[in-house]
Structures are given as structure tokens and as C-alpha cells.
């Protein structure tokens, strides 16, 4: 991509600063990016992702350089972004690829970053009185970078770039693995595809990618991992419905739930429809796809249509899974996929804002909701039927502890030997299927 087509760095910094400010005030980065003008979106996403993956370090550096919290939230967010971008420029001069997930992002010299950050402050009336402070802070960081980084990284939140409550929770749950989990969380995840085997084989899709000059590999059926992420429209056969974007760990849902033609199946928390489609690709079933968010169910319709699954026996409904009386017709299900709401602590590689949006109290709140959903859905399952409980979480309160509690409450529930399966975030390689953090538990109801 030609750098001449790129927006000015000062504009990108301002857009990214807005994103960081909004996330710190509780907004989803996905929602922020959706409201960003198209010419700025890709570059501001790359910079925002990088900043959120290193926000703990940025906040500690700002504290060392400017001990008093600036009153202007925008200015503070711009400073955080600019400090990291200066560090990026220094690292790139040392031949480090810091934008591995978006190599098309242009990299600027250190002095260009400083000049453009000051220009960004100059362009905003509320920031103009602080532009000299910003200039002085950034130039001091350049002079004292090594010493400042060494001092900042003595603080756990700066070293690991997660909130302290999160770090403590992982230390307690995974005393021998917590450091690796935190390190992997800051490695950008690859673009992973699930091949729609009703329309295409993995071998055929790999051949098509090779023909298009796209490096990719398959660590396991039906997964393909791209060496370099790119817009889906640039990948062959998207419009033909030959594949979907889905992390390898998430693909296990469609493989672990036992299905056979003719079964009546419930996908209890379906949107945006990746797992719904996978179930329909596995067998000719009668499926009810349920989700509390009617707006997000639009994506389910779109995904099924693209994959050629909209003609299947599927009914899409907007309802809360635990409010069984509002949506269930009284006919029991042979199989249920309960991919329940959670903290999403296992997918921070792809969504680095999550760690800064969550609070320790969220774990307790989501665990309580999961318990309600699990208890409610169990009553809709046939004797000898299967329920697959799923969360994209690595906190035991939403996984193993949840299932342990459920088994004490339900005498007719059996935990099958192939589960539970707590997958921790793992780096993807051609030799090993990696993936996000997920918890799976396959339950079967005892016969009457």
C-alpha cells in the first residue's frame, strides 16, 4: 500500500486517542472503530490495538514523566499513544516488527512522531495550551528511554500490561503458567479459517490460497491459518461460502457436540452465528438459534446465507436463554450448545480492550448468569441428550468451578470423559494448532 494514500499521522493519533479515551471510560473498541471515518479506520485500529496491548506500560511511563494526572482526558490519551509510538519508532530502527498483525501500517521516524503528536495537540483548541508540555515529555522520553522503561517495568501492570486484579487471578488459578498466559495474550492472533466442508475440502482451499499467493497451512481439520491477516474480501471464495473466520479453539464446539441427521438442536446464545453455521455444516439437523440481542441476529442470517445454509431447517429467535417460558415450545432437544455470556478473558489476543473493560466483580456477575442459563436449559434437554457448556474464558469461576457446582445440583447430569477441556491461549504454528482460551464441558442427561 502506498504511504501517499495514508492519512496524516496527526489525524491517526487523534482518532486513536479518542478510542483509548472511550475504552477507558467503558466503551468497546469495536463500537469505537465502527464510528471512525473509513479513511482513518485501518491505521487507527492498528495503533489502538498496539496501545491497548501496552497500556499498562504507557500509563506507568506517563506517571513517571507527568506525575499529575492531566485534567483533559483527550490529552492524556494522546500522550499515552504518542509515548508508545515513539517507542515503536525506536524499536523499528532496531529492526523489530512491532506491527506484526498489520505490516501495512507505515512506520515513522522518532522526530516525525513527536512533530505529528504536537500537531495533533495544536489542531484541538482544548489541547493547544498543553502542546509544549507534550513536546517536552516526548523529547525527554527519547533521551531517557532505557532508564524510564527499566523503572516502569518494575511495576507488574506495566510489565504484563493487564490490570492487577487480572494478574492476581491468573497467579492463583495457574501458579506455574500465569506468566506464559499473559505473554501470549499480547501476541496478535492470526487470521484463522474454518472450511465449510459441505462446499470445499481443506486441500482444495489450501490449493486455491497457494494459487492466489497467500501463505497458509492447516494444523488440523477443518482449520486453515493464514501467515498474514488480510481483509476477508481479499481471500478467495469468501462470496462462495467456502469458509468462515473462526479461531481454532472456537471450532471445537461443532466437533465436541454429538450430532446426527434428524436431531432437534438448540444453539442457545447464537449470535453472530459462527458456531450455528458449524453445527449446520456437521449434520442435517432441525436447529433453533437463540440470542438475547435481536440486532446481532442479523449477522446470523447473513452468515447462513453466505454459506448456503439458509435453506436448512433453522429457526432464529430473539430471546433470553434463561427465560424458557418465552421461547420454548415444550418439545425437548437432542443436543444443546450453551455458549454462554462470559468475561471473554480467553480472547484478549484478538480484543485487547477486554482486559481494560472488565472488573473483578464481572467474573462473579457472569458466573451467576451462566448458572441461571445452565439450570434453565437443562430442563429442555431429552434424557440421554447432550449439552455442551462453552465459555471463551480462562477464569475457573466460569469454567471448572461452574460445572462442579452444577453437578452437585443436578443428580441426572453426567460429565463425559472427553471433557472438561480448559484450553489456554496458545501461539499458532504450522506444527501445532494454537487458539484462544476456551472452556468446554460435555454433559449428558441420565435416562429416567
Catalytic residue, from 32, 269, 342, 392: name it.
392
* Selection from 368, 385, 388 nearest residue 322 by Cα: 368
Query: For residue 70, how far is the Cα from the chain centroid?
Result: 31
Residue with cell 523499528: 92
Residues 6 or more apart whose CB falls under 8 angstroms from that of 424 comprise 174, 177, 180, 181, 184, 346, 394, 437
Q: How far apart are CA 139 and CA 144, in angstroms?
A: 9
| CA-based torsion, 249, 254, 255, 258: positive or negative | positive
Q: How far apart are CA 428 and CA 446, in angstroms?
A: 38
Note whether 388 and 334 are within 8 A (CB). Answer: no
Q: How far apart are CA 294 and CA 289, in angstroms?
A: 11
Q: How far apart are CA 210 and CA 10, in angstroms?
A: 38
Radius of gyration of the CA atoms of the chain, in A: 24
Q: How far apart are CA 354 and CA 344, in angstroms?
A: 7
> Directed axis angle between helix 297-306 and helix 274-282, to 10°?
40
Region of residue 267 (phi > 0: left; psi between -120 and 50: alpha; otherwise: beta)? beta
Q: How far apart are CA 101 and CA 45, in angstroms?
A: 11
Residues 6 or more apart whose CB falls under 8 angstroms from that of 34 comprise none
Query: For residue 175, how far is the Cα from the chain centroid?
Result: 24
Look up 392 and say whether it is catalytic: yes
Catalytically active residues, by annotation: 392
Amino acid at each position: 500500500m502506498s504511504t501517499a494514500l495514508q492519512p496524516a499521522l496527526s489525524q491517526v493519533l487523534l482518532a486513536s486517542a479518542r478510542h483509548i479515551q472511550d475504552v477507558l471510560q467503558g466503551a468497546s473498541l469495536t463500537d469505537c472503530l465502527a464510528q471512525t471515518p473509513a479513511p482513518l479506520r485501518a491505521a487507527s485500529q492498528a495503533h489502538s490495538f498496539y496501545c491497548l496491548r501496552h497500556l499498562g506500560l504507557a500509563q506507568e511511563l506517563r506517571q513517571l514523566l507527568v506525575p499529575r494526572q492531566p485534567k483533559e482526558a483527550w490529552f492524556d490519551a494522546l500522550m499515552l499513544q504518542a509515548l508508545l509510538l515513539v517507542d515503536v519508532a525506536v524499536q523499528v530502527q532496531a529492526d523489530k516488527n512491532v506491527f506484526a498483525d498489520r505490516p501495512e501500517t507505515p512506520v515513522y521516524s522518532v522526530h516525525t512522531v513527536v512533530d505529528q503528536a504536537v500537531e495533533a495537540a495544536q489542531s484541538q483548541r482544548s489541547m493547544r495550551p498543553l502542546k509544549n508540555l507534550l513536546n517536552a515529555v516526548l523529547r525527554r522520553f527519547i533521551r531517557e528511554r532505557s532508564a524510564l522503561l527499566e523503572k516502569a517495568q518494575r511495576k507488574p501492570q506495566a510489565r504484563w500490561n493487564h490490570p492487577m486484579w487480572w494478574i492476581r487471578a491468573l497467579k492463583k488459578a495457574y501458579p506455574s503458567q500465569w506468566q506464559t498466559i499473559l505473554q501470549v495474550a499480547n501476541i496478535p492472533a492470526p487470521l484463522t479459517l474454518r472450511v465449510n466442508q459441505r462446499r470445499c475440502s481443506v486441500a482444495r482451499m489450501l490449493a486455491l490460497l497457494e494459487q492466489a499467493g497467500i501463505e497458509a497451512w492447516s494444523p488440523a481439520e477443518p482449520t486453515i491459518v493464514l501467515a498474514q491477516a488480510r481483509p476477508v474480501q481479499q481471500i478467495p471464495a469468501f462470496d462462495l461460502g467456502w469458509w468462515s473466520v473462526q479461531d481454532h479453539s472456537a471450532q471445537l464446539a461443532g466437533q465436541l457436540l454429538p450430532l446426527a441427521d434428524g436431531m432437534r438442536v438448540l444453539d442457545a446464545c447464537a449470535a453472530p452465528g459462527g458456531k450455528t453455521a458449524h453445527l449446520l455444516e456437521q449434520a442435517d439437523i432441525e436447529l433453533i438459534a437463540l440470542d438475547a440481542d435481536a440486532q446481532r441476529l442479523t449477522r446470523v442470517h447473513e452468515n447462513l446465507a453466505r454459506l448456503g445454509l439458509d435453506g436448512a431447517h433453522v429457526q432464529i429467535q430473539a430471546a433470553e436463554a434463561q427465560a424458557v417460558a418465552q421461547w420454548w415450545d415444550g418439545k425437548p432437544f437432542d443436543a444443546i450448545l450453551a455458549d454462554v455470556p462470559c468475561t471473554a478473558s480467553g480472547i484478549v489476543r484478538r480484543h485487547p480492550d477486554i482486559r481494560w473493560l472488565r472488573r473483578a466483580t464481572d467474573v462473579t456477575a457472569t458466573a451467576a448468569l451462566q448458572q441461571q442459563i445452565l439450570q434453565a436449559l437443562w430442563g429442555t434437554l431429552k434424557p440421554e441428550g447432550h449439552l455442551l457448556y462453552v465459555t471463551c474464558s480462562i477464569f475457573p469461576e466460569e469454567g471448572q468451578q461452574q460445572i462442579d457446582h452444577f453437578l452437585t445440583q443436578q443428580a441426572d447430569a453426567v460429565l463425559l470423559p472427553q471433557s472438561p477441556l480448559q484450553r489456554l491461549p496458545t501461539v499458532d504454528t504450522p506444527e501445532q494448532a494454537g487458539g484462544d482460551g476456551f472452556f468446554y464441558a460435555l454433559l449428558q442427561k441420565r435416562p429416567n
